[in-house]
Structure 1
Amino acid sequence: MATEIKAPTFPESVADGTVATWHKKVGEACSRDELLVDIETDKVVLEVVAPADGVLKEIVAAEGDVVESEAIIGVFEEGAAASAAPTAGTAPAAEAAAPAASQAATGEAILSPAARRIADEHGLDHSVIKGTGKGGRVTKEDALAHAKQAGQSAPTTASQPATAQAPVASGGPREEKRVPMSRLRARVAERLVQAQQTAAMLTTFNEVNMKPVMELRNKYKDVFEKSHNGTRLGFMSFFVKAAVEALKRYPAVNASIDGNDIVYHGYQDVGVAVSSDRGLVVPVLRNAENMGLAEVEAKIREYGLKARDGKLSIDEMTGGTFTISNGGVFGSLISTPILNPPQTAILGMHKIQERPMAVNGKVEILPMMYLALSYDHRLLDGKEAVTFLVAIKEMLEDPARILLEI
């Protein structure tokens, strides 16, 4: 029995998607719930799986094709046996356009989207990478291990990967490669430009002494981990809780502009910016005001693992009333984060660095962190933005304030 394979139902915020990778070739047997194809949207990669045991009969939408919600992308034959070659009824255009089918026919390994990007960036031969995934599929870890074994290093810029060489000049090789921008990267770029063009964005800075939080963490981290089933106590949970308390005091920072209206949110949905192979994503801690430190840490870890594996759902990245971005994990000392529309403000964390500070007339070496708050000046005045950031600073320098809500 032939069954149409359709693209997933996209939410209202997603207009369409792009067929990223076919993981099965025409005529290849599939088990129920086995991955058939990845559909890339401007927010996440959605997986389409086999509806039953059978065979992929036809590929209608080839890799790179743009498809709308519930569009037919292929045909599946339930209960059929695998054939050595595509059937005569297969659409020639679709068969010729499907790279996954040609890969399998030539014996080339089937790569996951993340593995394919890594292989292309490092100029690796797809056919020689050993896959440890299901059915011999090459995973991200396989590609990284192969690159390391081959002595390859990551490219320094996106425009200069080690791939096909252009004509060599006397000064050495001049390599270039042109690749299409992913939908997620394009959408991120569009939103960043939109934020700068539509908001009166301004940034205020402060610095926080991290010694009290570090001492508290070092004192209780072992007990905390044992008491909360292995959840580790990090710094981000302190910042989330401090931000939540500050948002309660300054509701305008938690608001957004909708046309000529100001929307005040009676909840704190805090987005946490996470870097992934596909680009920057911002999963949301919903009702963060009701979460404890352990819940925050566990959820952030869960989001980090999902971002790494490309498993974040659209619902997990939709909404948010305030965002926290931690550039310090990459060594950034100070920066000006860009707003995440339609939010009013974003907090930037940075590297903890020891510096000589004047304390009660004496010089002490303290672990200091610069904080940056970018905000929309259309809604927030400087006084509100500065006092909001000072409130976060005070709570972090005296963590008991977070528990006492003072």
Structure 2
Amino acid sequence: MATEVKVPTLGESITEATIGEWLKQPGEPVKADEPIASLETDKVAVEVPAPVAGVMGAHLAQPGDTVNVGATIAMIEAGAAGAAAAPAAPAKAEAAAPAPAQQAAAPADGEQVMTLSPTVRRLVLEHGLDPSSIRGSGKDGRLTKEDVLAAASAAKDAPTPAAVPSTPAPTAALPEIGGRKEERVRMTRLRQTIAHRLKEAQNSAAILTTFNDVDMTAVMEARAKYKDLFEKKHGVRLGFMGFFVKAACQALKDVPAVNASIEGDEIVYRDYADISVAVSAPNGLVVPVIRDAQTLSVAQVENTIGDFGKRAKDGTLKLEEMKGGTFTISNGGVFGSLMSTPIINPPQSGVLGLHRIEDRPVVRDGQIVIRPMMYLALSYDHRIVDGREAVTFLVAIKNAIEDPTRLLIDL
């Protein structure tokens, strides 16, 4: 008797997904709740668990296919191939001594694969690596993307055995003209969604960007003075984002239009700040939301952002964690960006872009001095936010960062 594997409910308003990869092939034994496939949605990668134990049957959809919620994508046949194979091995132990060792190793490999995130698992398969031979640097020894890439690089640099040249190179099938190569890769659903939403924002909103700069001296001094005590007490490093999130919450209260949105012919104003923070994930940029950020301490903000960053890398962010933000902060400075014009995330009306910190000459009290400066960029929907309000908002951010005491006394 066969059991159908259906596309699970993926969250509110999510009706379809794309098959990312099959983690189990036909004929392989599966355990109940073991991941057998990964799906790519508009936001994150989602694993499909086996509804029952048995043997993997036919795949009814292939990687790259779009499937609807509730659709049948595979079958699991009754049986326990994995369990049946184990008792048979001792009976032929003398005739085939290597067989038990191979069978014993198979479950261990299966358990290792079960702990891999979809992104890491995909990299392992692409590079043909044995995950059990790679030392994980993540929590509880979990493999990260960087661990796999480092192992792949080490394998590439290692001396190649004589038998290996007979194996075709992965790029052999690519068109080659005069030594130049091209490769066509299907856009992931996440990348397609990013492209669609960014273009939609440009088409539907009147986007304008205003700039300012901020002297980071006070925040950097505070961070240097308290970072050890902060980390010891709260278990997380004291970064810059905590200061900027709190400064943004205060500025949004002073300039509520930046925290508002247009719905039909109405403007919706909010007395809360759900701050979306742009986080880099293996398949693209995601924006999980810090709910009610105005009520959180700097430590709580830093803990939340740290958790988002880790789970974005592992591909375990939840769909509901990336919905409903009212304002976005994007820190391109971590990649070395000097200045940018970020695009708003509809239906939001504003996004704050942070950039790299660099020493520049500035005038203080009539003297030219060197200060660690950062450019700030506020992109906003000019249909709802006036230029005066945009400048006022940026100046409020600048004042709070240059004098963090303002954050304590609500100035």
TM interval, short-chain normalised: 0.7 to 0.9
The secondary structure found in structure 1 opposite 2:131 is coil
Q: Which residue of 2 aligns with 1:20?
A: 20
Quote the residue 1:274 is aligned against: 279
Give unmatched runs, 5+ long, in structure 1: 85-103, 153-161
The answer as to whether partners of 2:144 and 2:314 remain within 8 angstroms in 1 is no
What residue is the counterpart of 1:336 in the other structure? 341
What one-letter code is carried by the residue in structure 2 that aligns with 1:15? T
Q: For 1:141 and 1:56, how far apart are their aligned partners in 2?
A: 31
CA displacement at 1:205 relative to structure 2: 0.3
Query: Per the alignment, do residues 244 and 58 of structure 1 end up closer, same or farther by CA in structure 2, a change over 3 Å counting?
Result: same
Residue 184 (structure 2) pairs with residue 178 (structure 1):
yes
Partner of 2:7: 7
Deviation at 1:40, TM superposition (A): 0.7
Matched letter for residue 166 of structure 1: P
1:138 Cα deviation from its structure 2 partner: 9.0
- For the pair 1:256 / 2:267, whether they are aligned, the reply is no
Q: Which residue of 2 aligns with 1:400?
A: 405
Q: Distance in 2 between matches of 1:259 and 1:292?
A: 35
2:149 pairs with one of 144, 148, 158: 144
Q: AA paired with 2:284?
A: G
CA shift at 1:132, angstroms? 2.5
2:92 — aligned with what? none
Cα distance in structure 1, aligned partners of 2:406 and 2:147 = 47
Q: 1:112/1:177 Cα in 2 relative to 1: closer, same or farther (>3 Å)? A: farther
Q: Quick one: structure 1 residues 189 and 244, their matched pair in 2 at CA, closer, same or farther if it must change by over 3 Å?
A: same
Q: 1:163 aligns with which of 152, 165, 171?
A: 171
Offset of 1:220 from its aligned partner?
0.9
Match of 1:36, SS? strand
Equivalent positions of 1:320-399 (< 5 A) are: 320-399=325-404
Amino acid corresponding to residue 190 of structure 2 in structure 1: L
DSSP-derived class of the 1:222 partner: helix
SS at match of 1:57: strand
Structure 2 distance, partners of 1:210, 1:132, is 45
Q: Give me the whole-angstrom Cα distance separating, in 2, the residues matched to 1:133 and 1:401.
A: 52
Residue 196, structure 1, aligned to residue 202, structure 2: yes
Amino acid at match of 2:366: G
Which residue does 1:207 correspond to in 2? 213
Shift of 1:25: 1.1
Aligned to 1:33: 33
For the Cα contact (< 8 Å) 1:132–1:139, is it kept in 2?
no
Q: Deviations over 1:214-245 (max 9, x none)?
A: 111111111111111x2111000000000001
Equivalent pair of 2:124/2:130 in contact (CA under 8 Å): no
Deviations 1:105-134 (A, max 9, x none): xxxx989652476579xxx6x44x222289
Q: Which of 287, 304, 321 is the aligned partner of 1:299? A: 304
For 2:227, the equivalent position in structure 1 comes to: 221
Aligned mates of 1:402, 1:352 — CA distance in 2: 21
The alignment partner of 1:17 has SS state of: strand
Larger Rg belongs to = 2
Shift of 1:399: 0.3
Deviation string 1:285-321 (CA, Å, 9 cap, x unpaired) is 0110111111110110110011101111110111100
Match of 1:131 in 2: 131
Kept in 2, the 8 Å contact 1:130–1:142? The answer is no
Q: Cα distance, 1:56 vs. partner?
A: 1.8
Q: In proportion to residue count, which structure has more helix?
A: 2
Q: Is the contact between residue 132 and residue 142 of structure 1 (CA under 8 Å) also seen in structure 2? A: no
**Number of residues paired by the alignment?**
364
Residue pair 2:28, 2:55 contacting (<8 A) in 1 also: yes
Alpha-carbon spacing, 1:167–1:116, altered in 2? closer, same or farther (3 Å): farther
- 1:50 paired residue number: 50
Structure 2 CA distance for aligned equivalents of residues 198 and 252 of structure 1:
18
Counterpart Cα distance in 1 of 2:312 and 2:333: 19
Q: 1:115 to 1:231 in 2, by over 3 A?
A: closer
Q: Any idea what SS the aligned residue of 2:361 has?
A: strand
Q: Distance in 2 between matches of 1:336 and 1:3?
A: 51
| Structure 1 pair 68–133 and aligned structure 2 pair: CA distance change class (3 A) | farther
Instruction: Identify which range, 67-76 or 230-239, moves more after superposition.
Output: 67-76
Query: Structure with the greater relative contact order (CA < 8 A, sep ≥ 6): 1 or 2?
Result: 2
Change (3 A) 1:387 1:17: same
Moved more, 371-380 or 259-268: 259-268
**Structure 1 residue 15, shift from structure 2 partner:** 2.9
- Counterpart of 1:8, as a letter, is P
Q: CA deviation at 1:276?
A: 1.3
Over residues 253-288 of structure 1, what are the superposed CA-to-partner deviations in whole Å (9 max), with x where a residue is unaligned?
100111211111221000000111100100000110
Tell me the residue number matched to 2:97: none
| TM-fit CA distance, 1:393 | 0.4
Residues 301, 60 of structure 1: alpha-carbon distance in 2 compared, 3 angstrom cutoff: same
Q: Assess if the C-alpha contact under 8 Å between 2:9 and 2:69 holds in 1.
A: yes
**Structure 2 contact 45–118 (Cα < 8 Å) conserved:** no
Report if the CA contact (8 A) 2:3-2:52 is conserved.
no
Contact kept? 2:36, 2:47, Cα under 8 Å: yes
Structure 1: distance between partners of 2:196 and 2:217: 39
1:94 maps to none
| Structure 2 unmatched runs, 5+ | 86-105, 107-111, 135-141, 158-169
